[in-house]
Amino acid sequence: MATTTERDDDTSEGGPLESWTNGVLKDEAKRQRLYRALFWTACGFFLVTTLFPFYWLLVLALTPNNRILTGDWSLPVIGVEFPHPQGFNPVAFVEVFQVVPFHYFVFNSFVLATTTTIIVLVIATLAGYVFGRLEFPGRGALMLGILVISYFPPAAFLIPLFDAFLGNPVVVPFLGIELFSPPRLVNTPGSMIMPFSALFLPLAIFILTTFYAQIPDGLEDAARVEGTTRLGALVRVIMPLSAPGIATAAVLTFISVYNEYFFSSIMALENNPENWSPLVGGILSYQTQYTTDFNLMAAASIVGVLPVVILVIIAQERIVSGLTAGALKE
Amino acid sequence: MSTEQRGSEAGRESQRSGPIVAVTRWIENLGETAFAYLLLTPIFVLLGAIALYPLLRTFELSMYTGILGEGEQEFIGLQHYVDLFTGDANPDLPGSVIFLPGISTDGSFPFVHVENWVRSTLLVTLLFAVISVFFETIIGFGQALVLDKEFRGRRWVRAAIIIPWAIPLVIQGMIFYLMFHPSTGFLTQYLSSWGIVASTNTLNDPTSAFLIVTVADIWKTTAFMALLILAGLQSIDRSLYDVAKVAGASRWQQFRLITFPLVLPALGIAVLFRVIDSMRIYGLIDSVSSCTTVPSLSCMVVETFYSSRGLASAVAFVTAGVIGIVVSVVIYQQYKEGI
Amino acid sequence: MARVTLDHVTKRYEDVVAVNDMNLDIKDGEFVCLVGPSGCGKSTTMETIAGLTKPTEGTIHIGDTDVTRLPPKDRGVAMVFQNIALFPHMDVYENISFGLRLRNYDKEEIDRRVDEAADVVQLEGMLDREPNELSGGQQQRVAIARAIVRNPDVFLMDEPLANLDAKLRVHMRTELQRLHKELDTTIIYVTHDQAEAMTMSDRIAVLNAGELQQIDPPLVCYNEPTNRFVAGFIGSPSMNFVEGNVVENGVETDNFEVGFDPAGIPSLAVGDQVSLGIRPEDVYLVDQIEDPDAPHLTDRIDVRTDVLEPMGDEIFVYLLLEEDQETSMEDQGMAGQLLMSVTPDTEIEGDEDVDVVLDRSKIHLFDTATGEALAHGVADLTGIGSEPAAGEVESDS
């Protein structure tokens, strides 16, 4: 410290900025302070940029709609203009369910997400067991195949699926043989649950493969000698011990379905809860039918976002581990 | 322990019979390979029906004319693809959307001009992917470096950073719709005064809408990048930094010589992953702006599949092909490292 | 009822043969150890008996039932694993009763049998503990209780003591022997530790490279190994081997001769290359014995002592046979070296010239090329000292 200060004095003939720069370069304590300041600035910047849009939703939702259009959003506090609510109108959060039956849309989303999650977990558990614990020819190629399919865009699947879900016959490609005519599935949960399951299955498979592979072979062998079948050992020993992995796969699948847009907006032909239109339909019906009710759009968004925000706060660790395991494993 | 007890276990086994026991016994006696394929049957069925069949059928439909719900009309081979790339298909695309951008070579600097890029489906998709992933990587790296530190409230900062990733696309779209809608969005006021976005009809102005959609995507998916990079950062052996400090490396040198090279593999995977994902963009455009304003590939499939099924199929297959190119890079990378 | 028979069992993995044409006949109530170095196929053999692995060829019988195609749960076997393999999500009671609950026994029956089993392994009062609250020894007892509670026909134990510390291992050995007496059930025990096999088993099956080398009572394996591999594997420290040739009047090595009449042993012919095997305890210091010229001993051999390893109850002395004392031990390897064990009160130092003799009756001769045993014990030339244990090996194997 003493020596650096001395040197500081030697070189401080220039301007104050130069001496400060020199000080930072040479003085360990000053440098630490600079890093800390930089760190907290970055931290604050990221917090503001990620959270500000939500604050904006709240501002709009609480502002009475007639004042939104005329509103002056700037509030000259300490010289900074900052948007703030123009009045206080919490009734918007009630109206949101009255103007459009928004709760039905959310309910549909929950039903679709829960059903898909269960289907995905059952199928991915079998696949995770196979890929994580069995050795057989074709294992690598099959995993790669599932990975590749998960990369393809939903748009590449849409046209034949929509055709089939309208009730038109399923035709063997390139052979022209009509297999069967499926029931008309558009406007039913089936037309969404099936594509959702296929879409989000690969991630769940890779997460569960990772977790199931970590259970020691001895435990499975012990269960089988004690009297279970191979599948019995999966259900009684491997799955209970992989509970965190199953929770991870479940949370990520649920969030993914709840957030899905493509099939959600297309397979329900109208934005109508009777047609099993989910959250997407609810929000879009405000955007397309009540085009000036900006406060309701904001309130609906807040209501729709709450379930996932709660889920993120509760299951943060699971989401982080699942995303990284799923992606880096691949 | 008596001998009569000893026999009881075997007795219990042989007593049980019936179809369920027979099936269980049959499954249990399958060899490992047969057992594996039996358990994979549901996946083969599901992925076969929902992914493989539609993909092949899309390719088939792209070679026929006709409209949705009808059988194949007329076989025209690869004509739809040819039309897309020659521009003959442009009139069938909605609004003023074109597939490839125009190129003029009028001799002035820089000699080749890309015209109407913002109307071109292919270019808009590729540009969107490149720009959004570029910024997501840089910002995500910053977020990861912040989250890599131990500090009070780290858990909450991490939750705050993840939340945008976890919210529904339609609500993300709504948020940016409300932020940039000329009637409500205070942002439009400032940004238009600086000439960044159009002051009226902002969300229907192609360039402005492209910009807003890109910003919205960066806002939402940066968290994903940050988490993957963070995982890479946390797998670095901390003692390497001690070695570097002893050797007298500055913080910048530590970053350049240790952190960056060791995170690079994870970063590479994350970038490719995001490029693939961002090329599928549809929902965000549909909810913030409209598909005719910002024409992505997926958008064009949805916009045209009612009216021109064959052309839509061709666009869909081109989308799959473009993504397939990036996927093969990923697979090659995996293959090199050995799966 | 619980005899275990393996008939020509072979297990192949793609290009590796893990078990090759294994024939075993284990009697009811017998305690048999499968020993061998790692990768010798002993665990695979056990897995085929348990049903965890299906053999590529051959059949397995437990009692009179052909179990080759039966799943593990229907074979009436119980198994104790090396890594103990207690279910971490179940308490001790649930672990022990797991198999019974799967078979839908009624509650009272389960309770009675769990109590009984816990009693046998001295786990009373611990039934509601979680596995991770138990010590290693207690965990292994739970695993054993889980095995005995079902009254299986056969116990399979795959290195159950390998993960325990040395002291506990010795203690558990005696417990297992007590248990075997108490239950009187067939026990098949896999270990790589030949001392464990020697102390516990009725018979030892020595395996190497997927093939059965010898199956005999421990002392037979020790005294009359069928080949060089068994001779070297059983016994600690290992038997000494010295290469030599059969000559007119005995066996000649680079450094010494052992005189006898090769004609007395039909399997030997003059000119044969043989390995002469002698255990460290059968090498004697001339100074230490009363009559070094007794007929049951060989002629004196000049050696130089090298390293001494005092073990407390005995001293291991490394002896250099080579005349050239300059070469260090590393250079020579094991070739010109002999290990001798002497009593701890022996006055001996390193780098000292001494004379040793070998016990003729304990000399083993092996065919250098095939490793097959040719003779156990060689009589002296006059035939006076022909030992009863000595004799040729029948060349049927």
pLDDT in tens, chain B (339 residues): 443 444 444 444 445 567 888 888 888 888 888 999 999 999 999 999 898 889 888 888 888 887 766 666 778 878 888 888 887 777 777 777 777 777 766 666 666 667 677 788 888 999 999 999 999 999 999 999 898 888 888 888 888 888 999 999 999 999 998 888 877 767 777 777 777 777 777 788 888 899 999 999 999 999 888 988 888 888 888 888 888 888 888 888 888 888 888 888 878 888 888 898 899 899 999 988 888 888 888 888 888 888 788 888 888 888 888 888 888 887 787 677 654
Chains that touch C (3 or more CB pairs under 8 A): A, B
Closest Cα of chain C to B29: distance in Å?
Answer: 7
Measuring CA to CA, how many Å separate C368 from each of C114, C273, C353? 55, 6, 30
Whether residue C50 and residue A216 make contact (CB cut-off 8 A), yes or no, is no
Closest Cα of chain A to C85: distance in Å?
Answer: 5
Whether residue C71 and residue B5 make contact (CB cut-off 8 A), yes or no, is no
Which amino acid is it at C120? V
A225 touches chain C (CB under 8 A): yes
User: Is residue B76 domain-resident?
Assistant: no
What domains does chain A contain, in order, with CATH numbers? 2-81 (no CATH), 92-329 (1.10.3720.10)
Q: Would the pLDDT of C242 be above 50? A: yes
User: Is residue B90 domain-resident?
Assistant: no
Biggest distance spanned by C-alpha atoms of chain C? 77
Which amino acid is it at C49? I
Of A222, A228, A237, Cβ closest to residue C81: A222
Q: Based on the fold, state whether residues B35 and B128 are members of the same structural domain.
A: no
Whether residue C102 and residue A218 make contact (CB cut-off 8 A), yes or no, is no
Sheet-wide strand order for C353-358: C283-285, C353-358, C301-310, C315-320, C337-342
Closest Cα of chain A to C340: distance in Å?
Answer: 42
Of B10, B28, B61, the residue at which a domain comes to its end is B61
Cα A67–A70–A75 angle (5° rounding)?
85
Q: Average the pLDDT over each of A133-137, C138-142, C306-310, C384-388 and give the range with the smallest value.
A: C384-388
User: Is residue B11 domain-resident?
Assistant: no
Q: Based on the fold, state whether residues B297 and B201 are members of the same structural domain.
A: yes
Q: Based on the fold, state whether residues B40 and B127 are members of the same structural domain.
A: no
Give contacts of C91 with chain A, Cβ < 8 Å: none
B49 touches chain A (CB under 8 A): yes
User: Is residue B314 domain-resident?
Assistant: no
Measuring CA to CA, how many Å separate C72 from each of A136, B18, B166, C25, C61? 21, 20, 46, 20, 13
How many structural domains are present in chain B?
2
Closest Cα of chain C to A241: distance in Å?
Answer: 7
Indicate which CATH number applies to the domain containing B194: 1.10.3720.10
Rg (Cα) of chain A, in Å, rounded? 28
Angle between helices A2-11 and A16-26 (to 10 degrees): 150
Contacts of B247 (CB under 8 A, 6+ apart): none
User: Is residue B147 domain-resident?
Assistant: yes
Q: Based on the fold, state whether residues B162 and B242 are members of the same structural domain.
A: yes
Q: Based on the fold, state whether residues B141 and B225 are members of the same structural domain.
A: yes
Q: Based on the fold, state whether residues B43 and B150 are members of the same structural domain.
A: no
Question: Which of these, B77, B93, B61, lies nearest to A168 by C-alpha position?
Answer: B61
Give contacts of B29 with chain C, Cβ < 8 Å: 69, 71
Closest Cα of chain B to C291: distance in Å?
Answer: 56
DSSP per-residue codes, B104-126: E--SSTTS-EEESGGGBHHHHHH
- Please tell me the number of Cα atoms within 13 Å of C186 on its side-chain side: 21
User: Is residue B242 domain-resident?
Assistant: yes
B5 touches chain C (CB under 8 A): yes
C315 touches chain A (CB under 8 A): no
Q: Based on the fold, state whether residues B178 and B228 are members of the same structural domain.
A: yes
Task: For C353-378, write each residue's pLDDT tens digit.
Answer: 888 988 888 899 999 889 899 888 88
Q: Based on the fold, state whether residues B129 and B272 are members of the same structural domain.
A: yes
ipTM: 0.86
Of B61, B86, B115, the residue at which a domain comes to its end is B61
A262 touches chain B (CB under 8 A): yes
Mutation for A interface: C16, C52, C73, C74, most A CBs within 10 A? C73
Kindly state the tokens that stand for B334.
Answer: 């995996």
Specify the pLDDT at position C11. Answer: 92
Nearest chain A alpha carbon to C97: A226
pLDDT confidence bin for C330, thresholds 50/70/90:
very low
CA B4 to chain centre: 65
CA B276 to chain centre: 4
A56 touches chain B (CB under 8 A): yes
Nearest chain A alpha carbon to C88: A241
Nearest chain A alpha carbon to B176: A53
Q: Based on the fold, state whether residues B114 and B171 are members of the same structural domain.
A: yes
Domain that holds residue B53: 18-61
What domains does chain C contain, in order, with CATH numbers? 4-228 (3.40.50.300), 237-392 (2.40.50.140)
